[in-house]
Chain A
């Protein structure tokens, strides 16, 4: 055993010596990711002394923030998973009308800023809410855990849906048909065949939802009121009193369960890609459900769809309304506001574009080294590349704020720190897309190219690069969407000059300027769609689809 291990590492070394390009490349990659990912994490975790961490158990507000985080995560995870299951079931199995509509509704929230549901929720049910004040004539306090619960459910069920739908779609209906054929009833088939087959999807979907809810900052800061969770509590400590010490303790408390969920997810679900080559879907049809069950599923999906649609509708309506709750007349003043915030919007666009391209470019050689040169050293690269995915955005932002705040690495307040933070935040996304793309390119293509006389560089340029175009574009697109709508990563590192759209919106919401907030949000959504629509088309031509 020992001798083989020694042999192997000797082999690795020999390989590296023979291929200095590879050796230098890997070393540079490792150094850069350590510097921009590991270093900030270490800085935050080590910022506070052990005694400070003890306060987590003694300060009641911190203690409660931690408990609240876990509570709302558990609760929202359950509801997200249920709704996601329902949607996936309706789309893949139930043969209800409007299946395409349901499928796209489940996609909508993903291309939106994180707090849009919270904002719409205020517009719908708040003190001046269209439903609460004008339809129901009631006044209820929407700020608190139940509001947050609803909002988190609406915001994050699509993430669970993507996973569950993927698994459900891959289960051949023939299995269910076989069970029917053997005399099982609908309920028995569902219970004993379908549900067990869905279990990995349910588990994966639940974990994805849990990770997102736990790390979310945008919704709780707007809707949770006095119900503090770890990310908002950390933010309060920073923005209110510049208490970096407390902020780092709270963020670290958030990091631990986040990493636990992440590792759990990796162990269970493995490296799910965001882009899949659309395979042949099984064209076997399932046995139709009993009408009652079918229409129940349909009604439930319709209700959720109505909610999602009203979230967007009310937002766009708000964008053209003078004063929400008082003066409903049409106005363009909010649209003017978009131009007033032109610099922030331009920053959003610029940083998102640069960081996502940078992430995609950076992850390309990374994925190549890991996928094609599978030796031990490259496992380290793999872990480094996905590590940012385990770190909550708020933590990463804080990490950058702390780590690059002093010479010689003084980046505070610069556009560069915004771009770098977003870039490394997006690294796992681009990396997994490229990795999956490479895995789909048979190694014999490279061999064929070498065999025909092309050297390694030419083979990389002429064969691999063109074939990776699809994953590359998909990676850039997904990263762009995430960046344009990102609040948590940037909230600790923006400056007056580098502020972005999402930060402006947060300010407007906190001031009660909902009309302007709606207009800015709508503009961000349009910006996202302007990028998403053409790339989806482009990728569709290549037989690929984007999964977010």
Chain B
């Protein structure tokens, strides 16, 4: 297979449950060897799409291709798309060994080959000494490793993972996701990964597909998704964002000059096709706003009244009232200005402002609080 050929191709797929349309005309291409993440809030249809790929559901419309083969109508047990379940779905009456061997047995491999494959998995996931245990005698992390081993042992080119890390505690989640990424790069399989955690999605993926209510609203690299969100929803769901409405006044050199509130913002054109007179929404990440005690000169500076702050260890979050709205500002260098209060001054780099077409042309003043996963 050519390197640029997609491993999984989903074209115009829809799926309804009774009157409820869970998947609305989705198309997505998963490049071979990539780590692709479906990101979205709970209930937006991520699991449903996974089940459509794995063959537990049939699409009402549209096609699913894996390695160029049309999958529609092919029963789940013939698809060879191992899935790591969110609740692991380990067979409670089988030992770790039997769980891992379950799928292999059906492949009718020579005993020695199968035995070797299982041992390789046991080695890879550090399951020595647990082979004869039943799943209920394992910790959450161990169960999860068995679930990975059971899927990987199938030797398939595709591995599906439905929120496999969500049952781990926060610290372990970060460790395992890094290991998982390394494993995927080393073995070279194509991974389709589901999560509702934006951190996880950004840190692990080659490609992220952002879901909203049964639709994919944006597909791109983690950088694109974070820096150039295609919609307010995407901006808000992937990280926190400040939104401000403005009107393009002029184009000066490389900059768009935008009237925003009582002031003027200069934003690098950077491929935006907005012209004078157009209404836009400015999207500014909290960490891209700098706060100072003294007024700063230059462009894109404004002042406001500090409302409150909260300490987050590696940063401090401030809420500042300015221009009739609240701004969220993340200051990554706390300590130096721990005593900040009263009137403060803010500024933002012109390359750190992202523009979206204004929604409905109304000037709504609102600040995103970010996705709380």
Contact = CB atoms under 8 A, between A and B. Distances in A.
Interface in B149-205: 150, 154
A447 B56 contact: yes
Which 7 pairs across A and B sit closest by C-beta, in order of nearness? Answer: A452-B103, A448-B89, A444-B89, A450-B76, A453-B106, A450-B77, A466-B93
Contacts of A444: 85, 87, 89
Contacts of B87: 442, 444
A467 B94 CA distance: 10
A296 interface: no
A450 B56 CA distance: 9
Interface string B56-97: 100000000000000000011111111101010111110000
A447 B91 contact: no
A447 B51 CA distance: 9
22 contacts: A4-B18, A8-B18, A442-B87, A442-B89, A444-B89, A445-B91, A447-B56, A447-B76, A447-B85, A448-B83, A450-B56, A450-B75, A450-B76, A451-B76, A451-B77, A451-B81, A453-B78, A453-B80, A454-B102, A456-B77, A462-B102, A466-B93
Given A444-B87, A466-B93, A467-B92, 7 more contacts: A8-B18, A442-B89, A448-B90, A450-B77, A453-B103, A454-B77, A456-B77
Given A453-B77, A455-B75, A448 B54 contact: no
Contacts of B102: 449, 452, 454, 462
A78 interface: no
B106 to A, nearest CB: 4
Interface string A436-468: 000000101101111111111011001100110
B107 interface: yes
A70 B92 CA distance: 49
| B interface: dominant SS | loop
B252 interface: no
A258 B51 CA distance: 46
A448 B103 CA distance: 10
B19 interface: yes
A450 to B, nearest CB: 4
A451 B92 contact: no
A451 B82 contact: yes
Interface string A416-453: 00000000000000000000000000101101111111
Contacts of A467: 92-93
Nearest to B153: A452
B91 A448 contact: yes
A452 B82 contact: yes
B313 to A, nearest CB: 35
Given A452-B154, A454-B106, A463 B91 contact: yes
Nearest to B78: A453
B16 to A, nearest CB: 10
A454 to B, nearest CB: 6
A454 B91 CA distance: 13
A448 B85 contact: yes
B74 to A, nearest CB: 12
Contacts of A442: 87, 89
Given A442-B89, A445-B89, A452 B106 contact: yes
Contacts of A450: 55-56, 75-77
Contacts of B107: 453
Contacts of A459: 77
Given A444-B89, A445-B89, A451 B83 contact: yes
Contacts of B150: 452
Nearest to A453: B106
Contacts of A463: 91
A455 B77 CA distance: 6
B19 to A, nearest CB: 6
Contacts of A445: 89, 91-92
A451 B106 contact: no
B201 to A, nearest CB: 23
A4 B20 CA distance: 12
Nearest to A8: B18
A444 B162 CA distance: 12
Interface in B339-366: none
Max chain B CB contacts within 10 Å: which of A8, A444, A448, A458? Answer: A448
Interface string B126-165: 0000000000000000000000001000100000000000
A449 B90 CA distance: 9
A8 B56 CA distance: 19
Nearest to A469: B93
Max chain B CB contacts within 10 Å: which of A442, A444, A445, A453? Answer: A453
Interface in B3-20: 18-19
Contacts of A453: 77-78, 80, 103, 106-107, 154
Contacts of B106: 452-454, 458
Contacts of B154: 452-453
Contacts of A452: 77, 82, 102-103, 106, 150, 154
Contacts of A455: 75, 77
Contacts of A451: 54, 56, 76-77, 79, 81-83
B40 to A, nearest CB: 20
Given A442-B89, A451-B81, A4 B75 contact: no
Nearest to A444: B89
Interface string B231-263: 000000000000000000000000000000000
Contacts of A458: 106
A356 B102 CA distance: 33
Contacts of A454: 77, 102-103, 106
Nearest to A450: B76
Contact of A447 (B80, B89, B90, B93): B89
Contacts of B91: 445, 448-449, 463
A122 B369 CA distance: 78
A444 B56 CA distance: 10
A312 B83 CA distance: 58
Max chain A CB contacts within 10 Å: which of B19, B76, B85? Answer: B76
Interface in A1-19: 4, 8
A462 B105 CA distance: 12
Contacts of B55: 450
A458 B154 CA distance: 18
Contacts of B75: 450, 455
Interface in B38-63: 51, 54-56
A224 B68 CA distance: 80
A9 to B, nearest CB: 13
A449 B55 CA distance: 12
A462 B19 CA distance: 35
Interface string A456-495: 1011001100110000000000000000000000000000
Contacts of B54: 447, 451
A445 B83 CA distance: 12
A447 B89 CA distance: 9
Contacts of A466: 93
Nearest to B83: A451
B360 to A, nearest CB: 34
Nearest to B19: A4
A448 B90 CA distance: 8
